[in-house]
């Protein structure tokens, strides 16, 4: 009960209001950071996301510098982007999301992690299209297998998880618990980035955005470099 109550509190705090939404400059910075995180993880010869997983992904979530920590009560918060695969197989324009969650237990200290979530099923994609999803409840998550040329482990694909997580801290891959973490659509920051409001479905799958800002174009180019079927 405490965990649920605290999660609801954190999610409320993470809900972005018009007054607190990131402006265009901050949105550009988030997109640039997401591209750097992707390139950094994919340039690891022995510890990158397997290409097979990327080629079959429905979408990808990238959250740079997600903060996790606390004293007795833990919390996590981060903002980032989601890009979904289009009908032609290419990756689409980014939509902005916030992530937040909390837990109660014996813990102390904090860390900042870069997080990539591979959305590997229609259930996972459907969760983000509903504007708000709780990882572990609305969609299952597992640590993703490593190694671009390595075989996908049986514990990865055969388990049929909706999401596969990859995270790094201080340049090293780090384990992170995501159960109970909420992902919510950041409508205001998305509007600041594109100059008008869109629903999450319009951004990710609507095909309405033809004029992607330069930072988004560079990100999509990087995504397509690694995720082309």
Q: Read off the pLDDT of residues 48-57 as tens digits, 9 standing for 90 and up.
A: 778 788 889 9
Query: In this model, does residue 9 exceed pLDDT 70?
Result: no
Percentage of the chain exceeding pLDDT 70? 69
Q: What is the mean pLDDT of the chain?
A: 77
122-160 pLDDT tens trace: 999 998 898 778 887 888 888 877 664 444 453 445 457
Domain positions in the chain are 2-227
Better-predicted residue by pLDDT, 27 or 42: 27
Q: With contact defined as beta carbons under 8 Å apart, do 176 and 68 qualify?
A: yes
């Amino acid at each position: 009960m405490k965990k649920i109550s605290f999660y609801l509190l954190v999610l409320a705090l993470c809900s972005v209001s018009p007054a607190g939404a990131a402006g265009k400059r901050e949105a550009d910075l988030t997109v640039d950071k997401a591209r750097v995180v992707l390139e950094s993880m994919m340039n690891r010869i022995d510890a990158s996301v397997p290409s097979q997983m990327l080629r079959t992904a429905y979408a990808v979530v990238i959250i740079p510098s997600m903060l996790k920590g606390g004293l007795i009560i833990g919390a996590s918060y981060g903002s980032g982007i989601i890009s979904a695969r289009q009908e032609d197989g290419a990756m689409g324009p980014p939509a902005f999301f916030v992530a937040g969650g909390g837990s109660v237990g014996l813990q102390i200290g904090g860390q900042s992690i870069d997080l990539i979530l591979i959305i590997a099923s229609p259930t996972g994609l459907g969760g983000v299209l509903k504007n708000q999803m709780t990882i572990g409840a609305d969609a299952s998550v597992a640590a993703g297998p490593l190694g671009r040329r390595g075989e996908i482990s049986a514990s990865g694909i055969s388990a049929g998880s909706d999401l596969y997580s990859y995270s790094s801290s201080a340049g090293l891959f780090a384990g992170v618990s995501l159960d109970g973490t909420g992902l919510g659509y950041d409508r205001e920051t998305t509007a600041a980035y594109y100059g008008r409001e869109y629903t999450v479905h319009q951004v990710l799958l609507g095909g309405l955005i033809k004029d992607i800002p330069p930072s988004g174009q560079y990100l999509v180019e990087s995504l397509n470099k690694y995720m082309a079927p």
